[in-house]
């Protein structure tokens, strides 16, 4: 019942009109990525998402993955779709040309990821994990490892995983027990069991390259004794051909709330041959390179679901005839009005819309800064790196929280029909839910923000956001047309500044105070960031509307900005009061009384 059309018009608006993606080609390494190249790439991506991946979304959820004799089968059609995906060159898009990649900017990559997540979140996880492993291996692996493994991963014929979690340790990696024994030939033998391994075993690729955290025999305790290893499913001969099956196998697959077409595996390492990535005991650093990229990508999963659920709900609300407008029949010829006439239905649709479009702008802004941090000179670079480090936990947590909220609004708009599996909306709610949990729960993201990012370099990271926003507000404070946006933005920003000071001050005295504020602070930060971006989107829309024939597009943009300011942003006042109340009520509560 759901349908999905890639929101290309809006993607182009964000990329080119709002974020100046035209200037990408001026950056060294991105010379080819002019609009002439980006536009057709977006269109091709839209096509495969709409025509190949989306039609497998429902069937994949119903069928799920199966494990038989150690072999995991993905749902019907996934193998063929993955082949089409590889033939289109999509796995190599964001990779380094040195290993066969196309070196595309993140700004482009993130919009393609969004479309994939809208169309089929479970499918997107397979290449998504490979991309994460690529980032880690290309950053920290030896030349030999890179030469041996990266080209096939870039091509998509091999896939990757990240094996961190064990039954007794998820967030706290210091507890992990998987062991690595050095061999005479310089390789290692891995023993242990990992769980919650996405794409740990499947039938889409010829080989699976596991990146595994484990301890060397002489490892110090805790997180300082963790090393990273590469452990292929099949060993690879010097000529690149596949050799013997390695001692790694899938023990079971999880039965989950959602993302059922994505295989979530228990992986057993029984003396499996593995190779050290980077230095001994420095595995977490390498893994975090991957993790940060993954966290942005997981945020985009929330965005993808927000968009898809909005589209489904809007279509339903336009078609479903039920009751009459409160202010008198709008369509008296028909037996009832479409439910889109109801203000409460519009409230839900506009909330979805304001979130999806706002989150898109934030995701692209983060990607732009990532591009700048990699492809520009030192002055720009540091600021861009600061910004990316600061907003990574916000993008991850805010976008996934809002993704789930949007999917649930979509269900609410569809009423009972939203609860029925075949109609597709409830799947969005089940699929989106995991994104708030994996790659560090959203609570962990909030702690990362207040505990690491805020205090880092005496608050320097904050300036990468606070300075431009503060300058923007000042520059536009006299603009009459923008006043309705700049004023509430200014108010929210003031709250954010005050809350920041409070969290920093109280957290210095007592770290539990920072922890108690963390989740609400992250949301306050995120909603303020969206207010900034909505103001800029309104500004661009006012000016573009005058030169363009696409008036309605810009009018809708401005109207959505207004809705966001008046009806969504006020949340920040409650968040602010909660934060300012401090954490005493939580910490004083008697543990035995829970």
Residue 434 interacts with a second copy (CB under 8 A): yes or no: yes
Q: Segment contacting a second copy (CB under 8 A): 66-74, 186-194, 323-331, 537-545?
A: 323-331
The smaller minimum CB distance to a second copy, of residues 239 and 590, is found at 590
The smaller minimum CB distance to a second copy, of residues 70 and 167, is found at 167
The smaller minimum CB distance to a second copy, of residues 82 and 576, is found at 576
Q: Taking CB under 8 A as the rule, which mask of x and - marks residues 275-304 in contact with a second copy?
A: ------------------------------
- Beta carbon of residue 323, minimum distance to a second copy (angstroms, whole number): 4
Separation of alpha carbons 495 and 576, rounded Å: 6
Strand partners for 197: 265
Q: Segment contacting a second copy (CB under 8 A): 1-9, 74-82, 205-213, 332-340?
A: 332-340
Residue 133 in 3-state DSSP? Answer: helix
The smaller minimum CB distance to a second copy, of residues 276 and 349, is found at 349
Give the pairing type, strands 227-232 and 207-214: antiparallel
Tell which one of 110, 291, 298, 348 touches a second copy (CB under 8 A).
Answer: 348
Separation of alpha carbons 325 and 340, rounded Å: 9
Tell which one of 340, 356, 367, 394 touches a second copy (CB under 8 A).
Answer: 340
Q: Taking CB under 8 A as the rule, which mask of x and - marks residues 448-487 in contact with a second copy?
A: ---x------------------------------------
Tell which one of 148, 273, 442, 476 touches a second copy (CB under 8 A).
Answer: 442
- Beta carbon of residue 579, minimum distance to a second copy (angstroms, whole number): 9
Residues 398/359, Cβ–Cβ less than 8 Å: yes
**Between the CA of residue 301 and those of 169, 297, 386, 567, what are the distances in Å?**
24, 7, 23, 25
- Beta carbon of residue 349, minimum distance to a second copy (angstroms, whole number): 6
The smaller minimum CB distance to a second copy, of residues 188 and 554, is found at 554
87 is catalytic: no
Tell which one of 3, 59, 83, 171 touches a second copy (CB under 8 A).
Answer: 171
- Beta carbon of residue 493, minimum distance to a second copy (angstroms, whole number): 16
Is residue 218 classed exposed, middle or buried when 0-12, 13-18 and 19+ CB atoms within 10 A define those classes? exposed
Q: Taking CB under 8 A as the rule, which mask of x and - marks residues 374-413 in contact with a second copy?
A: ------------------------------x---x--xx-
Beta strands in 115-254 (DSSP E): 158-163, 179-182, 188-198, 207-214, 227-232, 234-236, 242-245, 248-253
The smaller minimum CB distance to a second copy, of residues 389 and 411, is found at 411
Q: Segment contacting a second copy (CB under 8 A): 5-13, 88-96, 497-505, 515-523?
A: 515-523
CA–centroid distance for 582 within its chain: 30
Tell which one of 34, 84, 193, 325 touches a second copy (CB under 8 A).
Answer: 325
- Beta carbon of residue 307, minimum distance to a second copy (angstroms, whole number): 13
Separation of alpha carbons 194 and 167, rounded Å: 7
- Beta carbon of residue 212, minimum distance to a second copy (angstroms, whole number): 18
Residue 317 interacts with a second copy (CB under 8 A): yes or no: yes
The smaller minimum CB distance to a second copy, of residues 292 and 404, is found at 404
Separation of alpha carbons 198 and 202, rounded Å: 10
Tokens of 499: 């809350």
Tokens of 96: 């380094």
Q: What are phi and psi of 424, to 5 degrees?
A: 90, -20
Separation of alpha carbons 78 and 386, rounded Å: 39
Interaction residues for a second copy, span 18-77 (CB under 8 A): none
CA–centroid distance for 309 within its chain: 16
Residue 295 CB coordination number (10 Å): 24
Interaction residues for a second copy, span 233-272 (CB under 8 A): 254-258
- Beta carbon of residue 585, minimum distance to a second copy (angstroms, whole number): 4
Tokens of 424: 């597709």
Interaction residues for a second copy, span 534-593 (CB under 8 A): 552-553, 555-556, 559-560, 562-563, 566-568, 570-578, 581-583, 585-593
Residue 314 interacts with a second copy (CB under 8 A): yes or no: yes
Tell which one of 19, 42, 250, 345 touches a second copy (CB under 8 A).
Answer: 345
Separation of alpha carbons 395 and 366, rounded Å: 8
Q: Segment contacting a second copy (CB under 8 A): 11-19, 121-129, 325-333, 380-388?
A: 325-333
Tell which one of 248, 514, 529, 531 touches a second copy (CB under 8 A).
Answer: 514
Residue 311 CB coordination number (10 Å): 20
**Between the CA of residue 262 and those of 35, 113, 167, what are the distances in Å?**
34, 16, 19
The smaller minimum CB distance to a second copy, of residues 241 and 327, is found at 327
Give the pairing type, strands 71-73 and 207-214: unpaired
* End-to-end CA separation in angstroms for the chain: 44
Interaction residues for a second copy, span 206-235 (CB under 8 A): none
Tell which one of 511, 543, 548, 550 touches a second copy (CB under 8 A).
Answer: 511
Q: What are phi and psi of 246, to 5 degrees?
A: -85, 165
Strand partners for 188: 182, 274
Tokens of 492: 């929210």
The smaller minimum CB distance to a second copy, of residues 230 and 449, is found at 449
Separation of alpha carbons 190 and 192, rounded Å: 7
Residues 573/495, Cβ–Cβ less than 8 Å: yes
Tokens of 295: 């966290």
The smaller minimum CB distance to a second copy, of residues 416 and 478, is found at 416
Separation of alpha carbons 392 and 452, rounded Å: 12
Size of site (CB under 8 A) for a second copy: 104
Residues 30/105, Cβ–Cβ less than 8 Å: yes
The smaller minimum CB distance to a second copy, of residues 270 and 319, is found at 319
Residue 347 interacts with a second copy (CB under 8 A): yes or no: yes
Which positions ≥6 away from 591 have C-beta within 8 Å? none
Residue 344 interacts with a second copy (CB under 8 A): yes or no: yes
- Beta carbon of residue 583, minimum distance to a second copy (angstroms, whole number): 5
The active-site residue out of 439, 513, 520, 539 is 439
DSSP state of 89: T
Tell which one of 13, 123, 126, 196 touches a second copy (CB under 8 A).
Answer: 196
- Beta carbon of residue 100, minimum distance to a second copy (angstroms, whole number): 34
Interaction residues for a second copy, span 68-97 (CB under 8 A): none
Separation of alpha carbons 264 and 360, rounded Å: 28
Instruction: Return the active site residues.
Output: 439
């Amino acid at each position: 019942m759901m349908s999905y059309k890639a929101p290309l018009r809006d993607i182009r608006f964000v990329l080119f009109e709002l974020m100046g993606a035209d200037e990408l080609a001026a950056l060294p390494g991105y010379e080819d990525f002019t609009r002439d190249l980006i536009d057709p790439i977006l269109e091709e991506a839209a096509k495969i998402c709409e025509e190949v991946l989306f039609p497998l979304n429902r069937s994949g959820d119903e069928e799920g993955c199966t494990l038989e004799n150690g072999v995991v089968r993905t749902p019907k059609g996934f193998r063929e779709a993955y082949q089409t995906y590889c033939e289109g060159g999509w796995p190599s898009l964001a990779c380094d040309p040195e290993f066969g990649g196309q070196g595309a900017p993140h700004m482009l990559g993130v919009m393609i990821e969004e479309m994939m997540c809208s169309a089929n979140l479970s499918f997107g996880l397979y290449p998504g994990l490979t991309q994460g492993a690529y980032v880690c291996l290309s950053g920290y692996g030896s030349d030999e490892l890179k030469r041996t493994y990266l080209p096939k991963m870039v091509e998509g014929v091999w896939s990757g995983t990240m094996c961190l979690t064990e039954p007794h340790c998820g967030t706290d990696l210091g507890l992990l027990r998987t062991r690595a024994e050095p061999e005479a030939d310089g390789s290692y033998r891995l023993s242990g069991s990992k769980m919650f391994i996405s794409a740990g075993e499947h039938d889409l690729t010829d080989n699976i390259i596991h990146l595994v955290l484990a301890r060397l025999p002489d490892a110090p305790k805790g997180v300082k004794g963790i090393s990273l290893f590469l452990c292929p499913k099949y060993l690879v001969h010097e000529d690149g051909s596949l050799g013997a099956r390695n001692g790694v196998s899938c023990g079971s697959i999880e039965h989950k709330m959602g993302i059922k077409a994505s295989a979530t595996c228990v992986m057993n390492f029984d003396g499996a041959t593995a190779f050290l990535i980077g230095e001994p005991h420095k595995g977490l650093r390498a893994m975090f390179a991957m993790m940060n990229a993954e966290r942005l990508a997981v945020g985009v999963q929330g965005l993808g679901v927000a968009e898809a659920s909005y589209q489904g709900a809007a279509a339903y609300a336009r078609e479903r005839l039920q009751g009459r407008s409160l202010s008198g029949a709008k369509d008296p010829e028909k037996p009832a009005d479409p439910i889109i006439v109801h203000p409460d239905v519009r409230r839900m649709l506009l909330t979805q819309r304001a979130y999806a479009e706002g989150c898109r702008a934030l995701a692209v802004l983060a990607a732009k800064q990532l591009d700048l941090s990699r492809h520009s000179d030192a002055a720009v670079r540091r600021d861009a790196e600061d910004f990316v480090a600061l907003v990574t936990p916000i993008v991850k947590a805010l976008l996934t929280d809002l993704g789930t909220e949007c999917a649930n609004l979509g269900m609410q708009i569809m009423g009972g029909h939203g609860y029925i599996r075949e109609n597709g909306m409830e799947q969005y709610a089940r699929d989106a839910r995991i994104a708030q949990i994996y790659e560090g729960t959203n609570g962990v993201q909030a702690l990362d923000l207040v505990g690491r990012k805020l205090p880092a370099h005496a608050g320097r990271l904050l300036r990468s956001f606070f300075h431009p926003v503060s300058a923007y507000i000042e520059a536009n404070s006299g603009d009459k047309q923008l006043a309705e946006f700049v004023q509430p933005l200014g108010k929210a920003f003031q709250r954010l500044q005050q809350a920041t000071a409070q969290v920093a001050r109280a957290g210095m005295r007592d770290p539990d105070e920072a922890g108690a504020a963390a989740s609400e602070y992250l949301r306050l930060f995120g909603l303020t960031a969206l207010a900034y971006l909505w103001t800029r989107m309104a500004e661009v829309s006012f000016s573009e509307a005058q030169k363009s024939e696409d008036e309605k597009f810009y009018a809708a943009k401005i109207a959505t900005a207004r809705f966001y300011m008046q009806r969504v942003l006020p949340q920040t006042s409650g968040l602010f009061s909660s934060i300012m109340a401090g954490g005493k009520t939580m910490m004083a509560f008697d543990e035995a009384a829970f």
